[in-house]
Structure 1
Amino acid sequence: MPKLSIFTVAAPDLTPEELCQAAADAGIAGLEWRCKDTPAELLAEQPSFWGHNRCTISPNAGEAEIGRFSRAAREHDRRTIAVTPYLSCGDVEGTEQVMRLAKRLGASMVRVGVPGYDRSTPYNELFAQATRYLQEVERLAIEYGLKALVETHHATIAPSASLAHRLVSPFHPDAVGVLYDPGNMVHEGFENYRMGMELLGPYLAHVHVKNAGWRSVSPDGTANHLEPVEWKSAWAPIANGVVPWKQVLRDLKAVGYDGWFGVEDFSGTFDTRAILRTYAEQMNRWMEEMQ
């Protein structure tokens, strides 16, 4: 059976204790804790993925907070596999802080910073900055016995498997790897899935599971075939977006991937508990169909 996990950014309405119980009920073994400070003003808002997320641990977590998250996982027999912060490229001090936290929680992976790309700074300058940062990251990952993850993510200098590989290839794959996210690659960075996996080789360290799609946008509801049409991407349920997940799973099996699959469904189609149940049922069924 697949090794299933949940990135808690997708569970904003649940407390750590509720999330661990829901994960156990769904048969999801791994936990990827969202890691970010939550400003006080957001705590009055309704739960949301990137705002008031109740399933988030602070990078500055003290003994009580660390104990709470560790206890929630332990009491529900769940395993913390990753701490997933929102680090800036070059923030070596912040990166080490999160790695210390990850060790306390028993995690083996930490997502690290990648420069954004918005046409304001040339790619080659950003790549040089990222390389200098990852030299420090590699050192820290070895020191703390963790793997640092560069995520394939739109609007960064690593939107595709090949650009992520270019970034991590100077470093040892035991210390620096790639979080492969086909859902992000719908927005930007699509490449033949298996080709990208083959290129990544030992750097293919983790996989996130979500989906998205595209639709054309016309102000008057019609298309003028002599004028450009605007297209927009949006999140979709895992089975209903552009990413053909059954094919992706076949490709992952073909290259020998045996790591975790972390869900982060942002489509809003299901409530959090239903997301976990549906995800586990889908993944287990698809894997069985591949036998």
Structure 2
Amino acid sequence: MDPRQAARALAEQGWDGVEWRITDQREAPEPGFWAGNRSTWPFTGLEERLDEIERVTRDAGLAFSGLGGYQRCDDHDGVERMLAATARLGAERVRVTMLPLGTAASGEGEPSGRSYPDLFDETREHVRWLADRAAAHGVLALIELHPRTVVSSASAAVRLLEDVDPAHVGVIHDSGNLVSEGGEDTLAGFQMLGSHLAHVHLKNARWRVVGEEGEGALAGTKRWAPGPVPLREGQCDLLDLVRSLRRVGYDGWLTVEDFSTDEPLAARTAGNLAYLRAVLAAADAEG
């Protein structure tokens, strides 16, 4: 679906808002989540598209849950543009990505090989700059708990955001990401984040055996990897997650990022909405 088709479909199904993905992506012969995604707005020339983004969103009767930015915290020029675009659209909040681990590839580049303490200290300086710029634009910058970055867990986010005003920089809790890396007790994680808990992404995942390796005494050693699954099938208990959100008083957005492909897209989004409504109703019934 292109953005207009996607916005119309989501509105007809009963969703409240949309969180547009904004990035320059690779072309692909078939549309995918990260390449050839037809609902992605390009970062190049973004300012010339803001009127269209606003029109497509508002004409469908949808709100902005935020903007799914991909500009990294050390790209100050790019981050500044995303903050300004967020303010112009009235989208209120925008994701800014963090530095990858020294063992993790970044885009088309090779792993940096840098140590975690070094990367963490640099990221902390970028986040302080980010807080000042977000305040200047009157928007909230969001840091996502994400595997293979310096901020994969609530604990790491708490360390990173020491002395940073939660009015300017908040945290995206992401259930599916935490299946891969950074998993902590759900309620404890929310309690640790406190007022920095600003946004919630919902997806699900589970670990699978993806092969075997080894010879001799090591033969049969299993290799495991996480992968996306439908919301109700993964290792994250979404009912427990919503219960925990209720306990800490969270009343913000729940934004779905379902990277499973078991069902056709329209059936998947409609089914996710029905499932989440059932989860919320079950949590509410418990008081």
Counterpart mapping for 1:1-291 below 5 A: 14-39=1-26, 42=27, 45-61=29-45, 65-119=49-103, 120-219=113-212, 228-290=221-283, 291=285
Please tell me the residue identity of whatever aligns with 1:61.
G
CA contact (8 A) 1:81 1:107 kept: yes
Write the distance in 2 (CA, Å) between the matches of 1:270 and 1:105: 32
Secondary structure of 2:158 counterpart: helix
Q: Where do 5+ consecutive residues of structure 1 fail to align?
A: 1-13
What letter corresponds to residue 201 of structure 1 in structure 2? G
1:218–1:230 contact (8 Å) kept in structure 2: yes
Amino acid in the other structure paired with 1:73: T
- Deviation, 1:101, is 1.3
- Change in CA separation of 1:225 and 1:90 when aligned onto 2, cut-off 3 Å: closer
SS of corresponding position for 1:56 = coil
SS of 1:48's partner is: coil
- Residue aligned with 1:155, SS: coil
What TM-score do the two structures reach when normalised by structure 2?
Answer: 0.90
State, as a whole percentage, how many aligned pairs show the same letter: 33
Shifted more, 226-235 versus 14-23: the winner is: 226-235
Q: In structure 2, the residue corresponding to 1:289 is in which secondary structure?
A: helix
User: Contact 1:59/1:101 (CA < 8 Å) preserved in 2?
Assistant: no
Q: Distance in 2 between matches of 1:36 and 1:66?
A: 14
SS in structure 1 opposite 2:24?
Answer: coil
Distance 1:99 1:230, change over 3 A: same
- Asked if 2 retains the 8 angstrom alpha-carbon contact of 1:81 and 1:106, the reply is no
- Please tell me the residue identity of whatever aligns with 1:279: N
Report the CA distance between 1:130 and its aligned residue. 0.5
Q: CA-to-partner distance for each residue in 1:1-50, whole Å, 9 max, x for gaps?
A: xxxxxxxxxxxxx11111111111121111111011245xx1x6221111
CA RMSD of aligned residues (A): 1.8
Label 1:226 to 1:130 Cα distance change in 2 as closer, same or farther (>3 A). same
Query: Aligned pair count?
Result: 272
Please say if residues 209 and 262 of structure 1, whose CA atoms lie closer than 8 Å, have aligned partners that are also in contact: yes
Please state how far the C-alpha of 1:62 moved relative to its aligned partner. Answer: 5.2
Gaps of 5+ in 2: 104-112
Residues in 1 aligned to 2:175 and 2:162: alpha-carbon distance in whole angstroms: 20
> Would the aligned equivalents of 1:22 and 1:276 in 2 still touch at CA under 8 Å?
no
Deviations 1:127-170 (A, max 9, x none): 11101111110011101111111100000111111111211232
